[in-house]
């Protein structure tokens, strides 16, 4: 690592207090506590840390979870330092009864959970709030499942009806700001069940379906001659750059070139 890097911000996603990206060559931080759940993955190197008087290591496998209110420290172990991505979750994001389990076994080795956490971090970085809400629900569910001893899953409502009801609510007005928790509450299911049922029924998660609907509306407005900035605001995107990123992902061109008939780039 050539330089130490620290980047932090507070995203607008309920349940997430802060996101931190850090790369340190040589760093030891003193004993301290957080009022949040600290959930992280290590991308490079090794972090040694004490948690409630016991020594552990955060490795580049699985996901490390440190509970609120429990003293911990940290230090570089490998000569090259370490690089990590951290999402600090509000205290209520996980059941307080899981604190003791996290103290005993803070490293959760699960490739699928790690991949979902990486997706959550990416969604938070790109301000993809609906995607972040979806992945946050799956990450917290996965952490709770591991920390509580992998209990048998509860009986869930039929996925087909859940998915169809959710699609109807999304289709009612694809452009308005939406929280999956609102949709799940109206249907009477949990957000993780909503995401799983929707993906199983339609082949893609609800946030990707919603982006597709918004892009359809944006394309029509662009071809009608509306300015791209106005189109982005009218179709549910944060701004023109947000619209352009999804536009390029779908059509490999920019909204401006599409509007002018310039084809792919």
Q: Do domains 5-111 and 208-257 have the same CATH topology?
A: no
Chain segment 22-36, per-residue pLDDT in tens: 999 888 889 999 999
Q: Determine the 3-state secondary structure of 83 from DSSP.
A: strand
- C-alpha to C-alpha distance for 100 and 105, rounded to whole angstroms: 9
Separation CA 232–CA 244 (nearest Å): 9
CA distances from 90 to 11, 34, 39, 107, 206 (A): 12, 10, 11, 19, 24
Q: What angle do CA 53, 58, 59 make, to 5 degrees?
A: 150
Each domain of the chain, given as residue ranges in start order, spans: 5-111, 159-203, 208-257
Cα–Cα distance, 127 to 49 (Å, whole number): 31
Name which of 264, 226, 237 is nearest 248 in CA terms.
264
Distance in angstroms (rounded) separating the CA atoms of residues 88 and 40: 8
Q: Encode pLDDT of 51-93 as tens digits.
A: 999 999 998 899 999 999 999 999 998 888 999 999 999 999 9
Which residues are registered as beta bridge partners of 23? 5, 83
Residue 188, pLDDT above cutoff 60: yes
The CATH architecture one would assign to domain 5-111 is Sandwich (2.60)
Q: What is the mean pLDDT of residues 237-254?
A: 96
Cα 241 to chain centroid distance, Å, stands at: 20
The helix, strand and coil proportions of the chain, stated in percent and rounded to the nearest 5, come to 45, 20, 30
Q: Is the pLDDT of residue 264 over 70?
A: no
Task: Give the global pTM.
Answer: 0.92
pLDDT > 60? residue 1 = no
| Rounded Cα gap, residues 168 and 173, in angstroms | 9
What percentage of the chain has pLDDT greater than the value 70? 98
208-257, CATH topology level: Arc Repressor Mutant, subunit A (1.10.10)
Work out the number of other CB atoms within 10 angstroms of the CB of residue 114: 18
Residue 265 pLDDT more than 50? no
Longest Cα separation, the chain: 65
Name the DSSP class of 23. Answer: E
Structure tokens at 41: 């993955």
């Amino acid at each position: 690592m050539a330089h130490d890097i620290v980047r932090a911000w507070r995203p607008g996603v309920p349940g997430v207090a802060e996101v931190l990206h850090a790369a340190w060559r040589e760093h030891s931080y003193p004993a301290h506590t957080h009022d949040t759940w600290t959930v992280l993955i290590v991308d490079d190197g090794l972090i040694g840390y004490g948690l409630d008087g016991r020594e552990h290591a955060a490795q580049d496998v699985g996901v490390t979870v440190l509970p609120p209110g429990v003293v911990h420290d940290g230090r570089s172990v490998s000569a090259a330092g370490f690089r990590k991505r951290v999402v600090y979750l509000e205290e209520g994001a996980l059941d307080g009864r899981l604190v003791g389990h996290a103290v005993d076994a803070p490293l959760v080795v699960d490739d699928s959970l790690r991949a979902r956490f990486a997706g959550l971090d990416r969604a938070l970085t790109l301000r993809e709030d609906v995607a972040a809400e979806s992945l946050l629900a799956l990450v917290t569910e996965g952490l709770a499942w591991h920390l509580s001893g992998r209990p048998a899953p509860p009986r869930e409502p039929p996925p087909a009806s859940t998915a169809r009801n959710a699609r109807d609510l999304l289709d009612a007005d694809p452009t308005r700001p939406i929280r999956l928790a609102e949709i799940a509450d109206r249907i009477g299911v949990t957000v993780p069940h909503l995401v799983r049922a929707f993906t199983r029924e339609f082949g893609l998660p609800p946030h990707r379906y919603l982006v597709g609907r918004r892009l359809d509306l944006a394309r029509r407005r662009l071809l009608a001659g509306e300015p791209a900035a106005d189109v982005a605001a009218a179709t549910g995107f944060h701004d023109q750059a947000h619209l352009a990123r999804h536009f390029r992902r779908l059509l490999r061109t920019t909204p401006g070139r599409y509007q002018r008939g310039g084809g792919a780039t």
